[in-house]
Amino acid sequence: MAVIHHTVLKPTKLELLAAWLPTRPWYRGGAGEPKLAKAGGFRLDDPQGAVGIEFLVVTDASGPRPTAYLAPLTYRGAPLAGAEHALVGVMEHGVLGRRWAYDGCHDPVLVAQLLALVEGRVQAQDQNTSDAPDREVTRSYTGEGALFTDVVATAADSPEGTEMSAPHGMTLRLHRLLHPTPDGRPLLPRGAIGHVGGAWQLPDGVRASGLFATLDAP
């Protein structure tokens, strides 16, 4: 079970993301720097207790209309070998010391736990409170066969989002730009056999829900 430390981060997560988001092909912000605000998200536990896993939702007000982005991050106490291209930045944590923050789509620990969440073998945790499930996170899996085979984190960005390879020839699609769904009910696209959904807060204070990730059949 991950312990949430309420402490100082230098730079902050939002500062790291403000520099990183404009480098992504799916970013839709304005010409200037992103104007980010934390809007929601959840955490997953690393079974080994070594890697922090957070699905962070931020809203950006730099464009013509506010846009919500999903940024799955992993936090490590040492660099992840071979993942230099996925490094979002390095932070100084007031309790844990130096932490390397990665785009979690390229981190096998996050990908494995996300698949476990889709399958229902783990439970999403509250973003800000230790040992507290996040009841707003939804998931489903209607496929056949277990998803807990060894995972190799292979991810590719496009203007539509991020695609990750999954076991048995399946594809895990991460929705980087978030869109509220009617009545908060997940609307799975054709071919999807699993999903993860979650909630976030719109700039006007309204609580919204939508798809975070889908698992597609081969």
Is 1 domain-assigned? Answer: no
Is 2 domain-assigned? Answer: no
Residue 31: burial class (beta carbons within 10 Å; 0-12, 13-18, 19+): exposed
| pLDDT for the residue 10 | 82
Is 190 domain-assigned? Answer: yes
| pLDDT for the residue 154 | 84
| pLDDT for the residue 53 | 97
Is 191 domain-assigned? Answer: yes
| pLDDT for the residue 3 | 59
d(CA 92, CA 75): 11
| Element (DSSP H or E) covering residue 55 | strand 52-60
| pLDDT for the residue 6 | 61
Percent helix / strand / coil, the chain, rounded to 5: 15, 40, 45
Is 45 domain-assigned? Answer: yes
**pLDDT mean for each 10 residues of the chain (218 residues):** 63 95 93 92 95 97 92 96 95 81 95 94 91 93 76 86 89 95 79 94 93 93
Characterize 90-105 residue by residue with b for buried, 16 or more Cβ atoms within 10 angstroms of its Cβ, and e for exposed. Answer: ebebeeeeebbbbbbb
The angle subtended at Cα 80 by Cα 74 and Cα 83, nearest 5°, is 90
Full residue range of the structural domain in which residue 141 is found: 9-216
| pLDDT for the residue 31 | 78
For 106, the token pair is: 């390229």
Strands (E), 61-191: 67-76, 87-93, 97-103, 138-141, 155-158, 161-165, 171-174, 177-178
Place of tokens 């079970």: 1
Is 120 domain-assigned? Answer: yes
Tally of structural domains, the chain: 1
DSSP string, 17-46: HHHHGGGSTT----SS---EEEEEEEEE--
Is 183 domain-assigned? Answer: yes
Is 117 domain-assigned? Answer: yes
Report yes or no: 163 and 179 within 8 Å, Cβ to Cβ.
Answer: no
| pLDDT for the residue 123 | 96
